[in-house]
Amino acid sequence: MSYSLNHPSAEEPLIVGRNLTKHYRRGSETVRALDGVDLSVATGEMIAIVGPSGSGKTTLVNTVACLDAPTEGSLIINGIDTRGLSEDALVAIRRGFFGFVFQKFYLLPTLSVAENVELPLLFLRRNPSRRTTLALLETLEIASRADHLPRELSGGQMQRVAIARALIVKPKVLIADEPTGNLDSATSDSIFDLFEDLSHQGLSIMVTTHNLPLAYRASRVVTLQDGKIVKEESRKG
Protein backbone atom coordinates (compact mmCIF):
# COMPACT_ATOMS: atom_id res chain seq x y z
CA MET A 1 0.00 0.00 0.00
CA SER A 2 1.28 3.47 -0.73
CA TYR A 3 0.00 6.98 -0.35
CA SER A 4 0.27 9.48 -3.20
CA LEU A 5 -0.25 13.23 -2.97
CA ASN A 6 -0.83 13.38 -6.71
CA HIS A 7 -0.18 17.12 -7.14
CA PRO A 8 -0.01 18.31 -10.72
CA SER A 9 2.68 20.91 -11.34
CA ALA A 10 1.54 24.40 -12.26
CA GLU A 11 3.20 27.45 -13.64
CA GLU A 12 1.27 29.92 -11.53
CA PRO A 13 2.49 30.34 -7.95
CA LEU A 14 0.06 28.98 -5.38
CA ILE A 15 0.70 31.86 -3.02
CA VAL A 16 1.68 35.41 -3.83
CA GLY A 17 2.38 37.81 -0.98
CA ARG A 18 3.14 41.44 -1.76
CA ASN A 19 4.41 43.98 0.79
CA LEU A 20 3.22 41.81 3.67
CA THR A 21 3.39 43.91 6.79
CA LYS A 22 2.32 43.02 10.30
CA HIS A 23 2.40 45.49 13.19
CA TYR A 24 1.68 44.62 16.79
CA ARG A 25 1.02 46.99 19.66
CA ARG A 26 2.99 46.03 22.73
CA GLY A 27 2.11 48.68 25.31
CA SER A 28 3.10 52.03 23.82
CA GLU A 29 5.55 50.36 21.42
CA THR A 30 4.71 49.24 17.88
CA VAL A 31 6.43 46.01 16.88
CA ARG A 32 6.98 45.51 13.16
CA ALA A 33 6.89 41.71 13.01
CA LEU A 34 6.76 41.77 9.21
CA ASP A 35 7.95 44.73 7.26
CA GLY A 36 7.12 44.72 3.57
CA VAL A 37 7.80 41.10 2.71
CA ASP A 38 7.31 39.89 -0.88
CA LEU A 39 7.07 36.14 -1.20
CA SER A 40 5.61 33.64 -3.61
CA VAL A 41 5.30 29.89 -3.26
CA ALA A 42 5.28 27.65 -6.32
CA THR A 43 3.99 24.09 -6.60
CA GLY A 44 6.43 21.51 -5.22
CA GLU A 45 8.71 24.16 -3.76
CA MET A 46 10.20 23.64 -0.31
CA ILE A 47 10.99 26.96 1.33
CA ALA A 48 12.89 27.14 4.59
CA ILE A 49 12.43 30.33 6.62
CA VAL A 50 15.35 31.00 8.89
CA GLY A 51 16.45 33.85 11.12
CA PRO A 52 17.04 34.71 14.75
CA SER A 53 14.26 34.54 17.36
CA GLY A 54 11.83 37.41 16.89
CA SER A 55 12.81 37.92 13.26
CA GLY A 56 9.23 37.23 12.08
CA LYS A 57 9.45 33.61 10.85
CA THR A 58 6.30 32.39 12.62
CA THR A 59 4.43 35.61 11.79
CA LEU A 60 5.28 35.13 8.12
CA VAL A 61 4.03 31.54 7.90
CA ASN A 62 0.91 32.35 9.97
CA THR A 63 0.15 35.28 7.69
CA VAL A 64 0.75 33.27 4.52
CA ALA A 65 -1.50 30.50 5.90
CA CYS A 66 -4.37 32.93 6.64
CA LEU A 67 -4.12 32.29 10.36
CA ASP A 68 -3.22 35.93 10.87
CA ALA A 69 -4.24 38.91 8.76
CA PRO A 70 -1.53 41.27 7.50
CA THR A 71 -1.75 44.90 8.61
CA GLU A 72 -0.78 45.94 5.10
CA GLY A 73 -0.07 44.25 1.82
CA SER A 74 -1.88 41.70 -0.27
CA LEU A 75 -2.02 37.95 -0.13
CA ILE A 76 -3.36 35.92 -3.01
CA ILE A 77 -4.02 32.26 -2.32
CA ASN A 78 -4.76 30.02 -5.28
CA GLY A 79 -5.88 33.10 -7.21
CA ILE A 80 -8.08 34.50 -4.42
CA ASP A 81 -7.27 37.86 -2.88
CA THR A 82 -7.70 37.35 0.87
CA ARG A 83 -7.95 41.04 1.79
CA GLY A 84 -11.09 41.81 3.81
CA LEU A 85 -12.35 38.24 3.86
CA SER A 86 -14.33 37.08 6.89
CA GLU A 87 -13.05 34.43 9.30
CA ASP A 88 -15.44 31.89 7.75
CA ALA A 89 -14.17 32.69 4.25
CA LEU A 90 -10.58 32.28 5.45
CA VAL A 91 -11.53 28.92 7.01
CA ALA A 92 -12.90 27.87 3.62
CA ILE A 93 -9.61 28.83 1.96
CA ARG A 94 -7.50 27.09 4.62
CA ARG A 95 -9.53 23.90 4.47
CA GLY A 96 -7.90 21.41 2.19
CA PHE A 97 -5.37 23.92 0.85
CA PHE A 98 -3.05 24.10 3.83
CA GLY A 99 -1.75 21.41 6.11
CA PHE A 100 -0.27 22.48 9.44
CA VAL A 101 2.50 21.04 11.56
CA PHE A 102 3.48 22.75 14.80
CA GLN A 103 6.37 22.37 17.19
CA LYS A 104 4.08 21.10 19.93
CA PHE A 105 2.23 18.55 17.75
CA TYR A 106 -1.19 19.34 19.34
CA LEU A 107 -2.61 15.85 19.02
CA LEU A 108 -5.91 15.26 20.80
CA PRO A 109 -5.00 13.04 23.75
CA THR A 110 -8.26 11.06 23.79
CA LEU A 111 -8.11 10.09 20.11
CA SER A 112 -6.02 7.26 18.73
CA VAL A 113 -3.31 7.93 16.16
CA ALA A 114 -5.66 7.01 13.29
CA GLU A 115 -8.50 9.13 14.73
CA ASN A 116 -6.17 12.12 15.13
CA VAL A 117 -5.07 11.76 11.52
CA GLU A 118 -8.70 11.58 10.33
CA LEU A 119 -9.85 14.58 12.40
CA PRO A 120 -9.53 17.22 9.62
CA LEU A 121 -11.78 15.08 7.38
CA LEU A 122 -14.55 15.53 9.93
CA PHE A 123 -14.38 19.29 9.40
CA LEU A 124 -14.23 18.87 5.62
CA ARG A 125 -17.36 16.65 5.76
CA ARG A 126 -15.44 13.82 4.10
CA ASN A 127 -15.83 10.21 5.09
CA PRO A 128 -12.56 8.85 6.45
CA SER A 129 -11.22 5.67 4.89
CA ARG A 130 -9.19 3.60 7.31
CA ARG A 131 -7.33 2.06 4.35
CA THR A 132 -6.17 5.48 3.19
CA THR A 133 -5.23 6.47 6.74
CA LEU A 134 -3.20 3.30 7.23
CA ALA A 135 -1.50 3.79 3.85
CA LEU A 136 -0.50 7.30 4.89
CA LEU A 137 0.73 6.07 8.27
CA GLU A 138 2.63 3.33 6.42
CA THR A 139 4.35 5.99 4.30
CA LEU A 140 5.28 7.78 7.53
CA GLU A 141 6.41 4.47 9.08
CA ILE A 142 3.99 4.60 12.02
CA ALA A 143 1.21 2.29 10.79
CA SER A 144 1.90 -0.10 13.66
CA ARG A 145 0.91 2.67 16.10
CA ALA A 146 -2.45 3.42 14.45
CA ASP A 147 -4.51 2.35 17.45
CA HIS A 148 -2.22 3.84 20.08
CA LEU A 149 -2.95 7.01 22.02
CA PRO A 150 -0.57 9.96 21.59
CA ARG A 151 0.82 9.54 25.12
CA GLU A 152 2.16 6.13 24.07
CA LEU A 153 4.32 7.64 21.30
CA SER A 154 7.78 9.22 21.19
CA GLY A 155 8.23 12.86 20.15
CA GLY A 156 9.29 11.85 16.64
CA GLN A 157 6.31 9.55 16.26
CA MET A 158 3.95 12.27 17.48
CA GLN A 159 5.38 14.69 14.91
CA ARG A 160 4.88 12.07 12.18
CA VAL A 161 1.25 11.72 13.30
CA ALA A 162 0.90 15.52 13.11
CA ILE A 163 2.37 15.42 9.59
CA ALA A 164 -0.03 12.63 8.63
CA ARG A 165 -2.90 14.72 10.01
CA ALA A 166 -1.75 17.59 7.81
CA LEU A 167 -1.42 15.37 4.73
CA ILE A 168 -4.70 13.44 5.02
CA VAL A 169 -6.60 16.29 3.34
CA LYS A 170 -4.08 16.23 0.44
CA PRO A 171 -3.14 19.90 0.89
CA LYS A 172 -1.37 21.98 -1.69
CA VAL A 173 0.87 23.67 0.86
CA LEU A 174 2.29 22.27 4.09
CA ILE A 175 3.06 24.86 6.74
CA ALA A 176 5.52 23.57 9.32
CA ASP A 177 6.47 25.92 12.15
CA GLU A 178 9.60 24.65 13.94
CA PRO A 179 8.57 21.03 13.35
CA THR A 180 11.88 19.70 14.67
CA GLY A 181 12.17 22.08 17.62
CA ASN A 182 11.36 19.34 20.12
CA LEU A 183 13.13 16.48 18.34
CA ASP A 184 16.61 14.98 18.44
CA SER A 185 18.89 15.40 15.42
CA ALA A 186 18.33 11.92 13.96
CA THR A 187 14.55 12.30 14.14
CA SER A 188 14.83 15.85 12.76
CA ASP A 189 16.80 14.49 9.82
CA SER A 190 14.18 11.86 9.13
CA ILE A 191 11.41 14.50 9.22
CA PHE A 192 13.29 16.60 6.67
CA ASP A 193 13.86 13.45 4.55
CA LEU A 194 10.12 13.09 4.53
CA PHE A 195 9.60 16.76 3.61
CA GLU A 196 12.00 16.39 0.69
CA ASP A 197 10.09 13.32 -0.55
CA LEU A 198 6.78 15.13 -0.25
CA SER A 199 8.19 18.14 -2.04
CA HIS A 200 9.36 15.89 -4.87
CA GLN A 201 5.81 14.56 -5.09
CA GLY A 202 4.60 18.11 -5.77
CA LEU A 203 3.68 19.33 -2.29
CA SER A 204 4.73 22.89 -1.54
CA ILE A 205 6.28 23.24 1.91
CA MET A 206 7.04 26.28 4.04
CA VAL A 207 9.10 25.34 7.05
CA THR A 208 10.59 27.55 9.74
CA THR A 209 13.68 26.34 11.56
CA HIS A 210 16.69 27.44 13.56
CA ASN A 211 18.67 24.50 12.21
CA LEU A 212 20.63 25.81 9.22
CA PRO A 213 21.98 22.45 7.95
CA LEU A 214 18.38 21.21 7.77
CA ALA A 215 17.21 24.49 6.21
CA TYR A 216 19.73 24.13 3.39
CA ARG A 217 18.04 20.89 2.33
CA ALA A 218 15.15 23.09 1.08
CA SER A 219 14.92 24.29 -2.51
CA ARG A 220 14.89 27.89 -1.27
CA VAL A 221 16.10 29.42 1.98
CA VAL A 222 14.67 32.77 3.04
CA THR A 223 16.44 34.60 5.84
CA LEU A 224 14.46 37.09 7.89
CA GLN A 225 15.71 39.77 10.20
CA ASP A 226 13.55 42.36 11.96
CA GLY A 227 10.60 41.37 9.79
CA LYS A 228 12.45 41.86 6.50
CA ILE A 229 13.85 39.38 4.03
CA VAL A 230 17.59 39.96 4.16
CA LYS A 231 18.69 36.99 2.07
CA GLU A 232 17.04 34.56 -0.34
CA GLU A 233 18.99 31.57 -1.69
CA SER A 234 17.78 28.99 -4.18
CA ARG A 235 19.19 25.50 -4.48
CA LYS A 236 19.21 23.99 -7.89
CA GLY A 237 18.08 20.44 -8.56
Partner 1 sequence: MDFHRHILAFATLAGKNLLRRVVRTSLAVTGVALAVAVAVSLAGFVKGYHGAITRSIDMLGFQVMVMAKGCPYEAATMMLKGGTGLLYLPDSIYTNVATDTGVASITPVFIGVAEKEQTSIQDDGAGSFIVVSGIEVPSFTTMKPWLSFQTGTGFDGGRWFTTDTEVTKEAPENIKQEVVLGYEVAEYEQRKVGDTIALTITPSGAVSSETHEYTVAGILSRTGTQDDGTVFMPLSSAQRIFNRPSQITVVGVKLKEFSSQAIRQFEERWISLPEVQIVGLQQVKSTLLNLISTAQAMIGAVAVIAIVVAIIGVINTILMSIHERTGEIGIMKAIGASRSDIFELIWYETLALCLLGGLAGIIVAYGGSGIIEFMLRHLIELGVQGEIVVISPGIIGLSLGGTVLVGFFAGLYPAWRASSMRPLEAIRAGE
Contacting residues toward partner 1, per CB under 8 A: 62, 65, 67-68, 87-88, 91, 94-96, 99-100, 102, 104, 106, 108-111, 119-127, 165-166, 169
Q: CB of residue 11 vs partner 1: minimum separation in angstroms?
A: 28
Q: Which is nearer to partner 1, 94 or 228 (CB)?
A: 94
CB 211 within 8 A of CB 180: yes
Q: CB of residue 177 vs partner 1: minimum separation in angstroms?
A: 10
State the Cα–Cα distance between residues 195 and 236, nearest whole angstrom: 17
First to last CA, the chain: 29
Q: Which is nearer to partner 1, 116 or 209 (CB)?
A: 116
State the number of CA atoms in the 13 A half-sphere of 226 facing the CB. Answer: 2
Q: CB of residue 135 vs partner 1: minimum separation in angstroms?
A: 20
For residue 58, give every residue at least 6 positions away whose Cβ sits within 8 Å of its Cβ, in sequence order, or none: 177, 178, 208
Kind of pairing between the strands at 46-50 and 204-208: parallel
Q: Which is nearer to partner 1, 92 or 134 (CB)?
A: 92
Q: CB of residue 189 vs partner 1: minimum separation in angstroms?
A: 26
